[in-house]
Amino acid sequence: MPKVNLAELTPKLMPYLGQAAYLQLSFFEAASRLTAEAVDVQDKLALALTSGQMLDKHQQLVAEIRRHGGVPSEVMEPFSARIDAYSAMVRGANWHESLTSVYLTAGLLDDFFTFLAAGLANGNGPKMVQIHALGSRRKEIAEILSRAISADERLGSQLAMWGRRVVGDTLLMARSAIHQSGNAVSDELRIEPVFTEVIAAHTRRMDGLGLTA
Amino acid sequence: MPKVNLAELTPKLMPYLGQAAYLQLSFFEAASRLTAEAVDVQDKLALALTSGQMLDKHQQLVAEIRRHGGVPSEVMEPFSARIDAYSAMVRGANWHESLTSVYLTAGLLDDFFTFLAAGLANGNGPKMVQIHALGSRRKEIAEILSRAISADERLGSQLAMWGRRVVGDTLLMARSAIHQSGNAVSDELRIEPVFTEVIAAHTRRMDGLGLTA
């Protein structure tokens, strides 16, 4: 799937899994908060589904940590503070901003961790790609957002602006994930083409919502 | 399982399912909020598991609504305001109170809806009993609470007091669920033995935590 060659960028498995699993947990936390705060029962049901998919990804990554001999809480712990801070930063000021954030950040970071997986040693990549692909369309969120945006032009421009801020914070997060995965700063140049691809997919997601990236 | 004869108390299927499914959704919302607010990563992982079990119950009840020809959001809608108000009432003032609430309220109401299932017509009872039995031990929550209580005597007496308030609100909730399920006020006398059983199970749960009911 990656058009760029990431074979020389070799994240270490445990830091990769620790970050990926904790990120999915934080997406789950954000999505379930949105479920609880949804006013409409139909939205609640849709968001409960999305939350469940994120939880499922988290739990599959936790199972991978165990399968490779790690203790899940210990493997995730070193990344919790940084990811919590990031989640707070992209939380948004209201329900629609938060919803947009979950959609965009889970989209960007799932793509990014899918690309990173290409560099994992010992044939561990494909399994990680497969896990990140689970429920990756998040169509329930996209449908709620598209409906709201097409009904309210001002909301659309507010969320377009918010999306631009979120993407900045998320790319910084992705960049730091490379170092945290045991790669040197010098690997950053090698990662640039990945960012180009990840941003292109982000732009398609924004377009899909009717927003200008 | 019920020692009392509930055969004459016949809840209608759709209101039964609507309330049961929306209650599980609200337990899920509370448990996932506790997951997000957990400070310890190990607690987070444990509570994410519990949240997943509650979500699973919710989704199985939603599937039953569909299987019987109902539209899930429409079947749940009439009960959402009352259950939301109840959830807010038993939410608690801090993390440990909220944790105690989820443990006790899910315990009480799972038991109650299991008893109620005995009166469902057309052989629908056993399936409902089976769904409510899924992950009904909530042992992850019990373990976190027991640890905290044995380490802090003052917390123990605070939570014992809180537990007494929660059980009162929850029995009122259960009582109203009978009427909402299409039973007459006159059925209340018939339900008294059920309350006795439900409260006995609640007392055992409190004992298990080291709390006086």
* B41 has a chain A CB within 8 A of its CB: yes
Contact A59 B41 (CB under 8 A): no
Task: Identify the pLDDT of residue B179.
Answer: 79
- Return the percentage of chain B with pLDDT > 70, whole number: 92
B32 interface with A at CB cutoff 8 Å: yes
CA dihedral B58, B61, B62, B67 (to 10 degrees): 160
CA distances from B117 to A13, A182, A212, B35, B181 (A): 48, 55, 52, 30, 11
Single pTM value for the model: 0.92
Question: In chain A, whose CA is at the least distance from the CA of B42?
Answer: A73
Buried b (16+ CB within 10 A) or exposed e, B81-104: eebeebbeebebeebbbbbbbbbb
Residue among A94, A95, A87, A97 at smallest CA distance from A54? A87
Q: How far apart are CA B195 and CA B108, in angstroms?
A: 10
pLDDT in tens, B156-212: 999 999 999 999 999 999 988 887 777 655 566 677 888 999 999 999 999 999 998
Cβ-Cβ contacts under 8 Å, A72 against chain B: 45
C-alpha span between B118 and B6 (Å, rounded): 6
For A42, nearest residue in chain B (alpha carbons): B73
For residue range B194-208, list pLDDT tens digits in order.
899 999 999 999 999
Distance from CA of A116 to the nearest CA of B (A): 24
For chain B, say whether A77 makes contact (Cβ under 8 Å).
Answer: yes
Q: Is B131 helix (H, G, I), strand (E, B) or coil?
A: helix
pLDDT by residue (tens digit) across A151-204? Answer: 999 999 999 999 999 999 999 999 888 877 776 555 667 778 889 999 999 999
A28·B29 Cβ contact <8 A: no
CB of A144 less than 8 A from some CB of B: no
- Cα within 13 Å of Cα(A74), Cβ side: 5
- pLDDT tens per residue, range B74-116: 999 999 999 999 999 999 999 999 999 999 999 999 999 999 9
Which pLDDT does position B2 carry in this prediction? 47
Tell me which residue in A29, A40, A73 faces B42 most closely, judged by beta carbons. A73
- The pLDDT tens digits of the residues spanning A98-113 come to 999 999 999 999 999 9
State pLDDT tens for residues B130-144.
999 998 889 999 999
pLDDT digits (tens, 9 = 90+) for A114-132: 999 988 989 999 999 999 9
- B45:A52 CB<8 A: no
Put residue A211 in one of left, alpha, beta given phi > 0 → left and psi -120 to 50 → alpha. beta
